[in-house]
Structures are given as structure tokens and as C-alpha cells.
Amino acid sequence: MTDLAKTERSRVKRLHERGRYDFESVARILDSGFICHVGYVIDGRPYVTPTSYWREGEHVYWHGSSASRMLRSAQDETDACLTVSLIDGLVLARSAFHHSINYSSVMLFGKAVKVEDPDHKLQALENFVERMYPGRWAQLRPANAQELKATTVMAMAIEEGAAKMRTGNPVDDDEDYGWPVWAGVVPLRTVAGVPADDGRVPADAPGQPAVAGLRHLGIDPA
Amino acid sequence: MTDLAKTERSRVKRLHERGRYDFESVARILDSGFICHVGYVIDGRPYVTPTSYWREGEHVYWHGSSASRMLRSAQDETDACLTVSLIDGLVLARSAFHHSINYSSVMLFGKAVKVEDPDHKLQALENFVERMYPGRWAQLRPANAQELKATTVMAMAIEEGAAKMRTGNPVDDDEDYGWPVWAGVVPLRTVAGVPADDGRVPADAPGQPAVAGLRHLGIDPA
């Protein structure tokens, strides 16, 4: 796996010691979440859309309705910025200035390309379901041609971008450490509650997700 | 409070029954989170940056380093799209196609304007700290001129945009309801763990956040 290109737009300029460009760091963060924010430019103006994503090797994928404005605007390919942000904690310092957030993030730049080949598209959607809920694809009512047509799948190579992270305690000015205020970190996690079926599930139907089985999505049991 | 303009770019086209344009719905969602993703266009290409935000009346604010690429690129004002996404649950359906996420989101479009007036800027930063941690501003070492200079505060009017949300059970095709697979919702929450001081806090120093006191940020006790 190739490390990411450190370009003018991807180089972490602010607090550059927080930046990482190696593929493993980027992939580890991508593989710890499932919601990204994708930025597009339409008529010169920015749009930011939250959506699910998944990684396959050196590409990220996301999908949406073929009728969506964002995905329609992508003809063959379109400039995109895909950002994943995982929030780990609140950082309370002794001055307002040094308050912060602990996080891991990835910002990827590139050309978003529509996956046109039906076999590739179907395989990508299977990978998506399996990434979210391992073993589920085979349990589902099979996808049909109409659904496949109604779904647009976008792919972007993981080539240009950066990971960025902050961990640990507040970093206050030396002279502030005696200041009489609490300072430290409040850790944050995403947790799953008890799965609730919709009341129309046949007895003994398989596929109820185990709450402890969502850790790969960055979701802990409550 | 004026409802939001339903324009060509803000109108929710896909699943439009999920869209809301009234100010109260938008404000309620904005006031339930603290992380947004801001999209800018620089040299014709999109950038999406995660950051904290806060609302004051009919404006949203965010801040960053005055040295940041994003904020430097904003001369007097710049087109921005600010998106807030609160993830409430995983929705598992009987077909891959009807899987979904329960969420509340707001997408705002407008001109991001730098807050230049020092008094306004200081007041905005106080509001930010107080929004996150009520009562904390007065406990902190006061902000100084250098910090204020190093901080850029951006404001955008809440005028154009939309809220969008999905709640409840999967909506499957009628003929799929007998399919033998579990279907329903896994609720998700953000929770705070035990605050950990940094080991340099004077005894009896005030200001330790109560875990139960973060609900206004969309954070529950573990």
C-alpha cells in the first residue's frame, strides 16, 4: 500500500505534528467509522453531504440514490473531498484558547467516479452490507435490477489526503498550570442500545445484530 | 424567527417528506450537537473540515486558527456549506436496498463572514465556551490579546438550508415482510465516560464537568 501524496492541499499545515500520511494510519481510521461527509462543488458553490462509506483496498466507496443532486452532478467523475471524523473526547484546559477535542480524522481528495459496471456495483453493495453487518448479505432478499439501477455507487482512490489526530491531556501555557480550575479529558464513545425489531419478524429469524458485534464500526456496547 | 429559504440548492429533493424548513426544527438540531462539517471551495475544489460550532440566535459560528488554510481563504466572506449530522440508529431491513440510518441533520448554505470586531469576537468565544460548559468562562484564565488575534471566528446567517431526518423502523417492500431475517433498529448514542483530570489540578479546583451535565451537547451519561 502506497502512502498518501503530501500535496499543497493535503499537507497538514496547522499543528502539523498531528498529521499522518501513511496508508496504515489512514486505513485504520477509515475502518473505525461508517459515516463520512462528502464535499462537492456545484456551480462553484460547496455542498457537504453526510453518508455511509466503506473501504475496499485502496479505494473508498459511498452510495446514494441515482436521483440525488450530488450524484447526478457527477458526470463521469467529479472533484470530491471525503472527510471522516471520529470524536474521542472533550479536552478542557485552563484557558479558553487551549480547549480542544480529541479526535481522529481523515480527509481525502480526489476524483469521485461512478461505478458503472453492474457486476462491480453489485459486488460493492455486497461488500458494503458485509462491512456493516458480516454475514447479512446472504440472509437478505436478493437485490433486483431495479434497485441496482436506482442506486449510484461512487468510488475514490485513496491517493491524496491526510489523517489527523489529537489525543491526551490539554496542553496549557506553562504559567497557567497553577490556575484553580479543573482541566482534563471527558472521554466520549458511541454506544449501541438494545436492538428493537419492527414487530414483523418471523420467530427464529436470523440476523439480529449482537450489540457487542458492532465494534468494527466504532460502536461499543452500552 | 424566519423559516429557512427553500431554494434550488436547499430544497430536499430525495425523500422530500424527510425535509423541514422551519427555524425551530433547524435550531433544535443545531442545538443538539457540537461538531459540524464545513465545506469551502478553494481554487474550484471542495474542502470539508470538521470543527466545533455554536448557534447564537439566527447565526451559526465556528472558529479556528487564523493561520488555517480554510479561514485564510475567506477574505471578507466566502461561500460555505455547514452540515451537522446526528446519528441516532442503524436501520436493518429485509433487503439491502432498504437498509438505512436514523439521523437528524441540518445543511446550511450561505456566506461565511469573519467576525472582525474584537469585542464581538471575544463575546462570541465566551458564548462558545458557555454553550459547551455553562459557567466555565468565569473560571478560566482570561483570554489575552495574542490569543484573540490567533483565533478567527466565522459567522453565517441561518437563512438558507434545510433540516432532514429519518426516524423509526425499516420500511420494506410489502412482499418482503415474510422474509426470514431480523429487521429493526439498533439505537445509537454518544456517551461520556468518567472525566479524567490531567494530574495537575489543584485540590478543590472547580469546573469538573458533570457527566450528566453534557446532555445539551447530545452526550448522555454512560
Q: What is the rounded CA–CA span in Å between residue A149 and residue B79?
A: 34
- Given a contact cutoff of 8 angstroms between Cβ atoms, the answer to whether B113 and B79 are in contact is no
Contact (CB<8Å) A141/B179? yes
Q: What is the rounded CA–CA span in Å between residue B207 and residue B204?
A: 9
Residue B69: per-residue pLDDT: 65
Q: How many CB pairs under 8 A join A and B?
A: 299
At A75-98, the pLDDT tens digits run 668 999 999 999 999 999 999 999
Contact (CB<8Å) B198/A170? yes
Residue A4: per-residue pLDDT: 87
pLDDT averaged over every residue in chain A: 93
Closest residue by Cα to residue A155 from A113, A119, A116: A113
pLDDT averaged over every residue in chain B: 93
B211 contacts in chain A (CB < 8 Å)? 186
Q: Quick one: DSSP state of residue B108? A: E
Query: Could you give the ipTM of this predicted complex?
Result: 0.94
- Given a contact cutoff of 8 angstroms between Cβ atoms, the answer to whether B184 and B92 are in contact is yes
The CATH homologous superfamily to which domain B16-88+102-180 belongs is Electron Transport, Fmn-binding Protein; Chain A (2.30.110.10)
E-state strands within chain A = 19-20, 35-42, 45-56, 59-65, 77-92, 100-114, 151-157, 160-166, 184-192, 196-197, 219-221
Q: How confident is the model at residue B222 (pLDDT cuts 50, 70, 90)?
A: confident
Residue B64: per-residue pLDDT: 83
Instruction: Out of 3.40.720.10, 2.30.110.10, 3.30.1340.10, 3.40.50.800, select the CATH number for domain A16-87+103-173.
Output: 2.30.110.10
Give the three-state DSSP class for B185. Answer: strand
Lookup result for grid cell 475514490: A156
A78 contacts in chain B (CB < 8 Å)? none
Give the three-state DSSP class for A44. Answer: coil
At B71-107, the pLDDT tens digits run 666 566 899 999 999 999 999 999 999 999 999 999 9
B185 contacts in chain A (CB < 8 Å)? 195-196, 198
pTM: 0.94
At A14-41, the pLDDT tens digits run 676 788 899 999 999 999 999 999 999 9
Residue B14: per-residue pLDDT: 66
Shortest CA distance from B47: residue in chain A: A81
Residue B67: per-residue pLDDT: 66
Q: What is the rounded CA–CA span in Å between residue A100 and residue A171?
A: 9
- pLDDT exceeding 70 applies to what percent of chain A? 93
If you average pLDDT over residues B217-221, what whole number do you get?
Answer: 95
Contact (CB<8Å) A48/B81? yes
Q: How confident is the model at residue A72 (pLDDT cuts 50, 70, 90)?
A: low
A215 contacts in chain B (CB < 8 Å)? none
Residue A113 has pLDDT above 80, yes or no: yes
B107 contacts in chain A (CB < 8 Å)? 47-49
Q: Where in chain A are the domains?
A: 16-87+103-173
Q: How confident is the model at residue A8 (pLDDT cuts 50, 70, 90)?
A: confident
- Given a contact cutoff of 8 angstroms between Cβ atoms, the answer to whether A85 and B35 are in contact is yes
- Given a contact cutoff of 8 angstroms between Cβ atoms, the answer to whether A39 and B48 are in contact is yes
Higher-scoring residue by pLDDT: A2, B28: B28
Q: What is the rounded CA–CA span in Å between residue A31 and residue A129?
A: 14
Sorted by sequence, the CB contacts under 8 Å of residue B222 that are 6+ apart come out as: A189, A191, A222, B191, B192, B193, B211
Contact (CB<8Å) B132/A90? yes
Shortest CA distance from B41: residue in chain A: A46
